[in-house]
Chains A and B, each alone.
Chain A
Amino acid sequence: AQKVTQAQTEISVVEKEDVTLDCVYETRDTTYYLFWYKQPPSGELVFLIRRNSFDEQNEISGRYSWNFQKSTSSFNFTITASQVVDSAVYFCALMDYGQNFVFGPGTRLSVLP
């Protein structure tokens, strides 16, 4: 069965620090998709990225970057030079080839001024 683990329940950093949110997944499928979502205090969900299992190239989008390592079944998310507006709960998710979609429990990031 597929599973997503986000071991960090809460992280606090000071503004301008870099922070990495960990995501470890389990699946028996060789074809799958990985996602990251942001949920700010206002409650809405914001899609950040989707990556398929055949694309191990790291992705950078502004201050955000993602490190996909199949060897360790990890899809970690790094925010560079964090800002207060980055404070949110971040969810990692997995969709396997059988279309089963599982979210991790989320990591609450607090960026302090």
Chain B
Amino acid sequence: EPEVTQTPSHQVTQMGQEVILRCVPISNHLYFYWYRQILGQKVEFLVSFYNNEISEKSEIFDDQFSVERPDGSNFTLKIRSTKLEDSAMYFCASSPPTDTDTQYFGPGTRLTVL
């Protein structure tokens, strides 16, 4: 069964460094999402993406964040200058065009900012 994949599973970085989190959505899906979850806390929506542009974004998704679909398969989240409070689990999700009510999640990338 096709699934959403995310790499790396764990990323450790120094404060101020740039990181790129990668997601490969299911191949025929057209709607893409990023969420994050700080350890032990609730899930937070970051951004949704459709037709090569951002559809919605939350207040968290400020100028230090950007998303891109650089080719037909990857969907990336870039954090330009990481802060300690960016340490979290980042989840990617995608939805097919025929069932936008359903989201398929990747396993997540744990980002640790030191």
Contact = CB atoms under 8 A, between A and B. Distances in A.
Interface of A is mostly: strand
Interface in B23-81: 35, 37, 42-45, 48, 55-56, 58
A101 B42 contact: no
Interface stretch (A18-26, A45-53, A63-71, A73-81): A45-53
Interface residues of B, number: 20
Interface size class of A (residues with CB under 8 A): 10 to 19
Interface string A79-113: 00000000000010101000111111110000000
A91 B44 CA distance: 11
Interface of B: 35, 37, 42-45, 48, 55-56, 58, 89, 91, 93, 101-105, 107-108
Interface of A: 37, 39, 43-47, 50, 91, 93, 95, 99-106
